[in-house]
Amino acid sequence: MRGLRTGFFCLTTTLASLASAQSRSDPYELVDQFARVLNRIEQEYVEPAPTEKLVQGAIEGMVSALDPHSAYMPPDDYDDFKADASGQFAGIGVEVDLRHGQVTVIAPIGGSPAERAGIRSGDRIVSVNGVVPDMLPLTEIVHRMRGKKGTTVHLTVRRAGRSSSLEFYVVRDDVHMPSVYVRRFDHDIAYVRIAAFQDGTHHELLEKLGRLQAEASFKGLLLDLRQNPGGLVSEVVAVADEFLGSGLLFFTRQREMVIDRIDTTNNGFFENVPMVVLVDEGTASAAEILAGALKDRRRCPLVGTRTFGKGTVQTIMDLPGGAGLRLTAMRYYTPAGNGIQASGVLPTETVSDSEPDQAEFTRESDLPNHLPSEQSVSLRKASRTKLDELPSAQPCETPKPLVTLLERIRQLPASPTDKDSKILARAYQLLLSHL
């Protein structure tokens, strides 16, 4: 679909230029202009061009011109999007990343077909069903390993210490990608890493922390939101309710009106447990809602670096033919009225795992066409509308593509004071001082 968007860029640019040059008072005259250009392409382009392909490219270009998070999703892309949000899909269950230009296995997901087949961390994938992945985008490689349950994927891999390649025939099955990882550190400290807020994250958190608590009680908690790209708002609300007492979690605004405010209750299991939160430049979207609320309400300190800065909410709409529309509909604000968009959340204590001269971070403010940041606003002074006046589609955060999610959920070193994680070491030290 990227090719369609690129291929149609000249057409959308031409339309915009024509509108500017002629200063038309009626913007819908551009629809007639579009029809004329489309007709010329159909009649005179060097090769026959399918009309469906052209119109779809025009829709994609129109929506993508709004901001980096609005998108038209053709049926296949929409199916992938919904699978990413649910955390469940049919595939082989392997986490991959590009290392030195080679597709490398980070780890097979526990209990997945890839794990059962014997694929290991560090294996380099040199072909997928006979196709060499070197010239393919990583998203396409991941897509090729997905498919219908019961079908087979043929992988050729190279493994360190082996002179010859290994061949694997892996049968696709339902795969569930965990979103919560828990460990126990010394001094009765629980470590919780939330990789993303996907369908079931809240239940998974309670289940895994409950199991850890049943083994032996913990006195403090480290909540790691680093490299968490966000996810479902409903899940982050449920998770936040476990760590906060009653009060404002966040509120949303659309066209200068307060649309809704979301509050936490007083029923959390861990709202009185001393805790420290870890954040970094990869903490984004729904994860920033939680981090911002914990900071504003002085629940606990935040340690790390300024977060990504995605402070917008997307509405997901079904379209005819199985396509979908992801449209930026609102901005959200922390309890103190701070806008996160393009600004991010500042930690209580800044600590970085990267040297200053080596830090190459991409944040929302670096993305082309991003919406600008705003000054703080007051919830009381802004007008408000009723929820039943909104469109029927419900707001949903934008999970990043699965491949970027998968590279985030690596296990951290066994020691909480490992030299490779200054953020973790400082957070651990700070929590101990509060116990």
Instruction: Please give the positions annotated as active site.
Output: 285, 296, 310
What is the C-alpha to C-alpha distance for residues 136 and 133, in angstroms, rounded to an integer? Answer: 5
C-alpha dist (Å) from residue 62 to 5, 28, 312, 346: 10, 14, 19, 34
What is the C-alpha to C-alpha distance for residues 410 and 193, in angstroms, rounded to an integer? Answer: 10
| β-bridge partners, 127 | 156
What is the C-alpha to C-alpha distance for residues 116 and 352, in angstroms, rounded to an integer? Answer: 37
Closest by CA position to 139, among listed 196, 71, 195, 76: 76
Q: How many CB atoms lie within 10 A of CB 71?
A: 22
Q: What is the token pair recorded at 140?
A: 């396409």
Q: How many CB atoms lie within 10 A of CB 20?
A: 9
Q: Which long-range contacts (CB under 8 A, 24 or more apart) does 10-18 make?
A: 11/37, 11/41, 11/54, 11/57, 11/58, 11/61, 12/58, 12/61, 12/62, 12/65
Name the residue with tokens 């997928």: 128
